[in-house]
Amino acid sequence: METFQNCPFSIKLWPPSQSTRLMLVERMTKNLSTPSIFSRKHGLLSKEEAEESAKQIEEVAFATANQHFEKEPDGDGSSAVQLYAKESSRLMLEVLKKGPQLKEDGSVQISDKVAGPCETFFDISGGRRAFIEQEEAEELLRPLTEPGNAYAKICFSNRSFGIDAARVAEPILVSLKGQLTDVDLSDFVAGRPEAEALEVMKIFSSALEGCVLKSLNLSNNAMGEKGVRAFEALLKSQNYLEELYLMNDGISKEAAQAVSELIPSTEKLRVLHFHNNMTGDEGAIAISEVIKHSPALEDFRCSSTRVDSEGGIALAEALGTFTHLKKLDLRDNMFGVDAGIALSKSLSRHVGLTEVYLSYLNLEDEGATALANALKESAPSLEVLEMAGNDITAEAAPSLAACIAAKQFLTKLNLAENELKDKGAIVIGKALEEGHGLLKEVDFSTNSIRRAGARLLAQAVVNKPEFKLLNINGNCISDEGIEEVREIFKKSPEMLGPLDENDEEGEENEEEEENDEDPKEEGDENGDELESKLKHLEVSEE
């Protein structure tokens, strides 16, 4: 009978698993954002600052403890665990004593003296786009093999891996499974034959399977369904993924269905980006299922994906199943009016929206009006609103104006390539006159605007303290009107975009010319009847 009595047996306590590290970050975030004796004295950290601080604290504490463990490789890791906990507590106390320290770029300085002892970001994407073979891979990836390295984020983008190079990377990635949090494999098989590219994808997928990643970027790889399924092992193992990027990947309806099948859990997903794919309606329906199971989603991009009305409605309804959206980009699809109306119902739930990109969706007046009305009642902190190229006319201008008037944090407004004409431009321009001190950019190019509309838009924005650019090119502004606008911007000509593509004749019919005629062109300086009537115009909120 065998006995284990005389066999050496030990339990390794170091390094901690990635899930353990994430759990510590969550615990510290909660502690840092909970009212305490320190917060009463120094101020309470916001949840965002607490989370950023907790992440930095954990990285520094881990690196410090890991260096300690490397000096005692035969130990069981208990002393490293104690140092890990001690450093985390010390740095957390330091943050609490300092109070809120959020910097302008969104980062947090947890200490004037503390800094991570090791680099955490490994990036080979610099330089020219090129193939990489075995020998070069061994040289480039050597830092990842050094004992005690603390690399948590890796970027292999812009280098095309062959099978031999992938075989070099494979054991290295396996050795880093316990510490990787962010992996960027965008554009890493460019120019390879399909069979080789798929094999490389499978090698990387297998090597990274089981990593507890927060961010995964597989963009620019022309994967299609075969490529998505080549990453099956990796995708299926991601239960804590917060960011997923699948842009310019040839994501067809079949590939989108594969994505929906292979991601096991999206409860923590905050960022999901599709762009320039061929997803179509059926693919959008598959992706809508991912959205429905992503209650924490904050940033969703599904632009240039060939989605029509049916898929647009499916996406819109899925976006109505949660409430935390901050940024939405659906540009360059074929949604149409019905999908626009469906989307308006969903967006009314997302009060935290700050950026909305809805250009080139065939919304027309009805869809644009529905969306404007919904956004007016929600999204108080909206900063960016883009609705270019939607066949919007002056009929929708009052609703747009009422929405815009309510958005005092607005920094960018893009209504280019519509049919607003003078009437619509003036109504919306009036809404911009009061407040809007953060406004930086306004684009009304290609809207059949003439002299009166151009003048009012210029006057509405020229004195905004943060303003940078007014684009009213591609309209029907007369030479006299152009000179007027330039005179308005004479103290800040850099804020006025080019005006070289204006067609004075325009394409107005006789009735519109009569209604929109600017009497100043006939020499009557005070005879602009349209402008006179609009002086006391108020924006209706109905």
Segment 325-334, tens digit of pLDDT? 999 999 999 9
Contacts of 37 (CB under 8 A, 6+ apart): none
Query: Quick check: is 369 in a domain?
Result: no
pLDDT grade for 78, boundaries at 50, 70 and 90: confident
Task: List strand residue ranges (DSSP E) for 334-393, in order.
Answer: 355-357, 384-386
Encoded amino acid at 19, one letter: S
Domain final position from 245, 265, 285? 265
Other CB atoms within 10 A of residue 27 CB: 14
Pick 77 or 137 by higher pLDDT.
137
When pLDDT is averaged across residues 230-234 and rounded to a whole number, the result is 97
When pLDDT is averaged across residues 508-533 and rounded to a whole number, the result is 41
Check: pTM over 0.85? Answer yes or no.
no
Question: Residue 67 is encoded by which pair of tokens?
Answer: 């260096």
With residue 122 as reference, give the H or E element that holds it: strand 121-123
The SS3 call for residue 167 is helix
pLDDT grade for 15, boundaries at 50, 70 and 90: confident
Check: CB of residue 172 under 8 Å from CB of residue 205. Answer: no
Answer yes or no: is pLDDT of 529 > 90: no
pLDDT grade for 38, boundaries at 50, 70 and 90: low
Answer yes or no: is pLDDT of 270 > 90: yes
Max Cα separation, the chain?
114
Q: What integer pLDDT is reported at residue 58 of this predicted model?
A: 87
Q: What integer pLDDT is reported at residue 534 of this predicted model?
A: 39
Residue 254, domain extent: 119-265
| Number of domains the chain is built from | 2
The SS3 call for residue 106 is coil
45 and 126 both lie in a single domain = no
Give the residue among 293, 300, 308, 281 at the shortest CA–CA distance from 347.
300
Q: What integer pLDDT is reported at residue 39 of this predicted model?
A: 62
Answer yes or no: is pLDDT of 1 > 90: no
47 and 172 both lie in a single domain = no
211 and 243 both lie in a single domain = yes
Question: Residue 138 is encoded by which pair of tokens?
Answer: 């061994």
Q: Parallel, antiparallel, or unpaired for β 327-329 and 159-161? A: unpaired
Answer yes or no: is pLDDT of 532 > 80: no
Answer yes or no: is pLDDT of 187 > 80: yes
Q: What integer pLDDT is reported at residue 242 of this predicted model?
A: 96
Q: Which long-range contacts (CB under 8 A, 24 or more apart) does 136-141 make?
A: 136/165, 137/161, 137/164, 137/165, 137/168, 137/169, 138/168, 141/168, 141/169, 141/172
149-153, 227-231, 420-424: segment of lowest average pLDDT:
149-153
Helices (H), 72-193: 78-98, 134-140, 163-175
When pLDDT is averaged across residues 298-314 and rounded to a whole number, the result is 97
Percentage of the residues of the chain whose pLDDT score is greater than 90: 67
Contacts of 23 (CB under 8 A, 6+ apart): none
Percentage of the residues of the chain whose pLDDT score is greater than 70: 85
Q: What integer pLDDT is reported at residue 79 of this predicted model?
A: 80
Give the residue among 200, 238, 246, 217 at the shortest CA–CA distance from 155.
217
Query: Quick check: is 261 in a domain?
Result: yes
Query: Quick check: is 338 in a domain?
Result: no
Query: Quick check: is 156 in a domain?
Result: yes
C-alpha–C-alpha distance, residues 101 and 49, integer Å: 8
51 and 180 both lie in a single domain = no
160-178 pLDDT, tens digit per residue, is: 999 999 999 999 999 999 9
Give the residue among 328, 211, 355, 343 at the shortest CA–CA distance from 273.
328
CA atoms within 13 A on the CB side of 332: 11
Q: What integer pLDDT is reported at residue 254 of this predicted model?
A: 96
The SS3 call for residue 396 is helix
How far is CA 178 from each of CA 131, 162, 211, rounded to the nearest angstrom? 28, 25, 7
CA 328, 334, 336: angle at the middle one, nearest 5?
90
Answer yes or no: is pLDDT of 91 > 90: no
Give the residue among 64, 52, 146 at the shortest CA–CA distance from 95.
52
C-alpha–C-alpha distance, residues 318 and 330, integer Å: 14
CATH number at residue 91: 1.10.246.200
Q: What integer pLDDT is reported at residue 63 of this predicted model?
A: 82
Answer yes or no: is pLDDT of 454 > 70: yes
Query: Quick check: is 187 in a domain?
Result: yes
46 and 124 both lie in a single domain = no
Answer yes or no: is pLDDT of 116 > 60: no
When pLDDT is averaged across residues 74-102 and rounded to a whole number, the result is 77
When pLDDT is averaged across residues 418-447 and rounded to a whole number, the result is 97
* Average pLDDT along the chain: 86
Give the residue among 41, 12, 47, 11 at the shortest CA–CA distance from 29.
47
Q: Parallel, antiparallel, or unpaired for β 215-217 and 243-247? A: parallel
335-357 pLDDT, tens digit per residue, is: 999 999 999 999 999 999 999 99
C-alpha–C-alpha distance, residues 425 and 210, integer Å: 55
468-519 pLDDT, tens digit per residue, is: 999 999 999 999 999 999 999 999 999 999 999 988 765 444 344 434 444 3
Tokens 């075969």 map to which residue?
A: 226
Q: What is the DSSP string of 110-145?
A: --SS---SS--EEE---SS-EEE-HHHHHHHTGGGG
Q: What integer pLDDT is reported at residue 188 of this predicted model?
A: 97
With residue 433 as reference, give the H or E element that holds it: helix 421-433
Question: Residue 336 is encoded by which pair of tokens?
Answer: 């149409």
C-alpha–C-alpha distance, residues 48 and 100, integer Å: 11
Domain final position from 246, 265, 284? 265
Query: Quick check: is 191 in a domain?
Result: yes
Q: What integer pLDDT is reported at residue 141 of this predicted model?
A: 96
CATH number at residue 246: 3.80.10.10
124 and 252 both lie in a single domain = yes
pLDDT grade for 445, boundaries at 50, 70 and 90: very high
When pLDDT is averaged across residues 39-66 and rounded to a whole number, the result is 80
260 and 129 both lie in a single domain = yes
128-157 pLDDT, tens digit per residue, is: 889 999 999 999 999 999 988 899 999 999
When pLDDT is averaged across residues 394-399 and rounded to a whole number, the result is 98
135 and 251 both lie in a single domain = yes
Query: Quick check: is 188 in a domain?
Result: yes
Q: What integer pLDDT is reported at residue 41 of this predicted model?
A: 65
Helices (H), 434-519: 451-461, 479-488, 510-516
Query: Quick check: is 385 in a domain?
Result: no
Give the residue among 502, 506, 507 at the shortest CA–CA distance from 486.
502
Q: Parallel, antiparallel, or unpaired for β 355-357 and 384-386? A: parallel
